[in-house]
Every structure is written in C-alpha cells, then in structure tokens.
Amino acid sequence: MFKIEVGFFGVLLLIAVLWAAMHVLGSRAEPLHKALWIAALLFLPVAGLIVWFFLGPRAVRTA
C-alpha cells in the first residue's frame, strides 16, 4: 500500500492556508473574489499564500 508522510512543512502549510482562508472569508470582498482567492489557496497553496499576503483582501480592523 501507499505510505503517507506529512512533514513539519506540510503541517505548517496547512495551518497557513486555513488561516488565510479564514481571513478571506471574513473580508468585505465580493463573493466571486472570495471564491477565486480560496481556489488559489487550495490549488496553488504556496504561490497562493505568497500572492494573498501581498495582494489579498484586507480584513476590517475595528478601533
């Protein structure tokens, strides 16, 4: 059978993608833009995270 190994980097990547997805869902972006960001994070996790960090929707900050 197949042996699945999840390394430390894989776990960190999963946590980072989930964190980014939560921020995308909590943003005020349009639903289509949210769906595109989530798709980018799921299908291209490393590149999606990098692009999201610099260009992604910003969460609303309350004072």
Domain ranges of the chain: 28-57
Higher pLDDT, 31 or 2: 31
Q: In degrees to the nearest 10, what's the CA dihedral of 53, 56, 60, 61?
A: 20
Residue-wise pLDDT tens digits, 1-25 = 555 667 878 888 889 889 988 988 8
Q: What is the pTM of this model?
A: 0.71
- Spatial separation of the C-alpha atoms in residues 6 and 4, rounded to whole Å: 7
Question: Is 41 exposed, middle or buried (CB count within 10 Å of its CB: 0-12, 13-18, 19+)?
Answer: buried
- What would the pLDDT profile of 35-53 be if each residue is shown by its tens digit? 998 998 888 888 888 888 8
User: Residue 31: is its pLDDT beyond 90?
Assistant: yes
Position 37 scores a pLDDT of 87
